[in-house]
Amino acid sequence: MKFFYSIFLGAALGAASIFIHASVPPFGLILSLAATGTGIWSIGRMWGRRSLKVLASIIWTLVVVRAGLPGASNEYLIEASAVGISLINIGFLFLLIAILLPN
């Protein structure tokens, strides 16, 4: 159950980050990064295992990177703007920090 919960939460945090990051440019990005870091950290806090934080972070990364690739009609959910690139780069750093924080 913990395994599926961490997969679901990682995918949900990734999808929420994708849809929130471009709304109201500086504040949407800050909100999505804060939610990502807090959500991944809370998985470890709730279940007490770092491996579940790593799993959720991998799922978040897969969702966000897939959104940065062209879709069926060549649409991008994460554009190659400063906000989109910041979501991917700084989001990955937030994931690393959340994983390394103690439970």
Q: Inform me whether the pLDDT recorded for 77 exceeds 90.
A: no
- pLDDT for the residue numbered 17: 93
Query: Residue 70 corresponds to which tokens in the numbers above?
Result: 């062209």
Structural domain contains residue 67: yes
Residue 66 lies in domain: 2-74
Compute the average pLDDT of residues 37-49.
Answer: 92
d(CA 24, CA 1): 36
Provide the domain count of the chain. Answer: 1
Of the pLDDT bands very low, low, confident and very high (cuts 50, 70, 90), residue 38 is very high
Q: Inform me whether the pLDDT recorded for 41 exceeds 80.
A: yes
- pLDDT for the residue numbered 34: 95
Structural domain contains residue 101: no
Structural domain contains residue 94: no
17 closest CA partner among 75, 86, 74: 86
> For 83-101, how does the pLDDT look when each residue is reduced to its tens digit (9 = 90+)?
889 999 999 999 999 999 9
Structural domain contains residue 56: yes
Q: Are 12 and 43 in contact (CB under 8 A)?
A: no
- pLDDT for the residue numbered 81: 87
Structural domain contains residue 82: no
6 Cβ contact list (under 8 Å, min separation 6): 43, 47, 52, 53, 55, 56, 59
Handedness of CA 66, 16, 37, 30 (dihedral sign): positive
